[in-house]
Amino acid sequence: MKEKENILSVEDLGVSFLVKEGQFARKSQKLQAVDGVSFRLERGETLGVVGESGCGKTTLGRAILYLEKPTSGKIVFKGELVEDILRKNPLELRRKAQIIFQDPYTSLNPRMTVGSIIGEGIEIHNLAKGRAKQERVKELLGLVGLDASYIARYPHEFSSGQRQRIVIARALAVDPELVVCDEPVSSLDVSVGAKILNLMLELQKRLSLAYIFISHDLDVVAHMSDYIAVMYLGKFMETAKTHDIIHNARHPYTRALWESMPRIGKEKIVGLKGEIPSPLNIPSGCRFRTRCPYATELCAQDVPPLTEFGDGQLVACHYAKEIKDGTHVPTNAPV
Ligand code: SF4
């Protein structure tokens, strides 16, 4: 069996900001957007990060690439601290780790041709010049399923799906090893989005890319990922192989996310109750307790640690075992 190659290790990562609540607030408050997140990612594999909007998943993706500076913890990329890479050779990190954003409209400069958009990174990183650069751009267009003759066109001449293909070609132009994909299909029609997802899977296989795939849609994340981390108010609530998140979810939040997914033939959609609390006012103990039907006094007092349940499945719930075997039933009274 081929040995795995670690691409990324994240240990106890934290990201916080000082913010003012309201226009006339005098004091700043600390907003902990990411809190104690740890994981590893191997070459050719995908970690999916899923959660409602405001759970910190986008901040996590940006912090991994140091587009947002972490306030604690460490990130190791291919065996080297990202801080050290940035000090010695910042361009190297920008080349090896790329990001694909949600909106293919705002992420492409409308005044640049497709050729200059895709060729920009090739030039900055000195990978090819002149004719060789043009040829490489054409090759990349082919790789993402676009005609090489599109090289002189402008972004407004393309559909949203084609634009996202251009965004992907731009990311691949510099031969990255890690790509953070932040809701890459959420602004696209379902059928167009499905084609982009399949293209991304095909490219991953061909180029041995490691992906961090961020989305609010658990179905999409499950389609793309080898492992899934379920995030709530800045913390991982459950992480496991995709198969276990689908068939053996233990955390009440993961189960509620599955329940709230619309399905054909499903009579009633049992959605998540209530709103996600403000990250400026995180509940004591288990931060999911204000929406959890299984919550008890203990949940208000103690933070549940991430505990292993075999085969790498980690769950942060005081009653993960009891909920699974049916000995702890819903109280329907979050505390
Ligand atoms: Fe959190 Fe308690 Fe619900 Fe578990 S049972 S998710 S610890 S509130």
Residue 267 has a pLDDT of 45
Cα-Cα-Cα-Cα dihedral sign, residues 322, 323, 326, 327? positive
State whether residue 75 is helix, strand or coil: strand
Mean pLDDT (whole number) for 1-6: 79
Ligand 1: atom nearest CA of 294 is 5
Q: Is residue 335 part of a domain?
A: no
CA 316–ligand 1 middle distance (angstroms): 8
Determine if ligand 1 sits within 6 Å of the CB of residue 294: yes
Order of strands, sheet of 227-232, starting from the edge strand that comes earlier in the sequence: 97-100, 178-182, 210-215, 46-50, 227-232, 235-241, 314-315, 307-308
The answer to whether residue 40 is domain-embedded is: yes
Quote the number of domains for the chain. Answer: 1
What does the pLDDT look like over 95-118, one tens digit per residue?
Answer: 999 999 888 888 899 999 999 999
Atom of ligand 1 nearest to the CA of 296: 2
Query: Which pLDDT score is estimated for 269?
Result: 42
Pairing of strands 80-81, 235-241: unpaired
Structural element, H or E, at residue 73? strand 72-77
Chain segment 145-201, per-residue pLDDT in tens:
999 999 999 999 999 999 999 999 999 999 999 999 999 998 889 999 999 999 999
Residue 334: inside a domain, yes or no? Answer: no
Is 331 within a domain? no
Q: Enumerate the β-bridge partners of residue 158.
A: none
For ligand 1, mutation pick of 289, 297, 314 (most atoms within 8 Å of CB): 289
What share of the chain in percent tops pLDDT 90? 81
Q: Answer yes or no: is 321 within a domain.
A: yes
- Residue 238 CA to ligand 1 centre (angstroms): 12
Q: Indicate which CATH number applies to the domain containing 190.
A: 3.40.50.300
Confidence of residue 268 (pLDDT cuts 50, 70, 90): very low
Query: Is 1 a member of any domain?
Result: no
For 95-105, letters b (16+ CB in 10 Å) and e give bbbbbbbbbbe
Task: Give yes or no for residue 138 CB within 6 A of ligand 1.
Answer: no
Q: How far apart are CA 167 and CA 173, in angstroms?
A: 10
Tell me if 179 is assigned to some domain: yes
Binned at pLDDT 50, 70 and 90, residue 271 comes out as low
Kindly report the pTM of this predicted structure: 0.92
The DSSP H or E segment spanning 3 is: none
Helices (H), the chain: 57-64, 82-88, 90-96, 114-124, 130-143, 160-172, 190-207, 218-224, 242-247, 252-259, 297-301, 320-325
Residue ranges making up the domain that contains 10: 6-325
Pocket lining: 233 vs ligand 1, CB cutoff 6 Å: no
